[in-house]
Structure 1
């Protein structure tokens, strides 16, 4: 069975997610799991479900390596996880080439591409940090506006109504830790 996995980092990337799903179905995936969550997080329940559903002989298909992992080490970890189940991974759209980890050449190419992608991401983060440092030195950088603290009174009101912190976080679109922080500020 071919199991497809599609991911975008944000909910705004709807077209990108739809394109991945379309391409995975066109590649013959019988089941496509899709989620909108950052690749940097380890909490990707649908990826875990895809890996859990795999049985010997199955194939996990992704469109690009960065949809699966952010770093070379993570990518190779997923390759090993899939391989340990008697399965393999296919990366579909690599400049018209398909990389299939069932052969050594593709595994080598995938490793090299993942290393280059990780390098590019690190360079981007360095440039971003330099830009922020320069803006701070010039007094132009304000940082992001705090979102949770502006909702502290609403957090406190919901808490007084007996709503649990996890539910408050969901309703207000903030993190659970932020809810606890607000409760400490208001109390």
Structure 2
């Protein structure tokens, strides 16, 4: 059994690696260790995600897909969620999410061994129901926030106040400073600025004019 941690943030301005320590602590509390991390900045409402697909390709039967919250895995519509869940099940992956305690049984080998088959079947059924419920709630939250954002933008446009999303120039300058003047590695720059490694690469690729 390998534990594969999936960490996701929606935008380049968010740090997808934020939950890494939390997931490591959780695994340690269950006498387990995370074997690999899959980290990306992409919307959870998008089915095609490179790192998630890489995780599915790498996985073996009985591996664990570990996430901080179900909404890190999915904000998909119903059909896309069914498709992703089917792919996960076909690969023999088991979802463990910190916000779904019933899913923790999959990471606790001792409990799985000692469980009565009937009890385990009941727990599995409850767990699947809760994961589907959390997935539906994540989608609803996504739609609600998107609608409110659109309403806010429309109002700002009407009032002549909308300027679009603005980059943080000072933070971008720090990326260039740490990389070009201090000679830090990409990972060190990411840690120093709070960006993800992929964000650092994108900022550096834009050049100093926009940094």
Q: 1:126 to 1:12 in 2, by over 3 A?
A: closer
Show the counterpart of 1:139. 160
Q: Give the structure with the larger helix fraction.
A: 2
Which runs of no fewer than 5 residues in structure 1 stay unpaired? 147-167, 174-187
Show the counterpart of 1:84. 90
TM-score by length of 1: 0.64
The match for 2:205 among 153, 171, 174 is: 171
Aligned mates of 1:39, 1:3 — CA distance in 2? 23
Q: Given the alignment of the two structures, is residue 106 of structure 1 paired with residue 127 of structure 2, yes or no? A: yes
Q: Given the alignment of the two structures, is residue 25 of structure 1 paired with residue 27 of structure 2, yes or no? A: yes
Show the counterpart of 1:64. 69
Aligned mates of 2:137, 2:19 — CA distance in 1? 23
- CA RMSD, Structure 1 to Structure 2 (Å): 3.2
Which runs of no fewer than 5 residues in structure 2 stay unpaired? 107-120, 168-201
Q: Given the alignment of the two structures, is residue 36 of structure 1 paired with residue 40 of structure 2, yes or no? A: yes
TM-score by length of 2: 0.58
Q: Given the alignment of the two structures, is residue 4 of structure 1 paired with residue 4 of structure 2, yes or no? A: yes
CA contact (8 A) 1:5 1:60 kept: yes
The match for 1:48 among 44, 47, 53 is: 53
Aligned mates of 1:122, 1:132 — CA distance in 2? 15
Show the counterpart of 1:125. 146
CA contact (8 A) 1:6 1:33 kept: yes
Higher relative contact order (CA closer than 8 Å, sequence separation 6+): 2
Aligned mates of 2:130, 2:73 — CA distance in 1? 16
Which is higher, the Rg of structure 1 or of structure 2?
1
Aligned mates of 2:161, 2:149 — CA distance in 1? 15
Aligned residues: 151
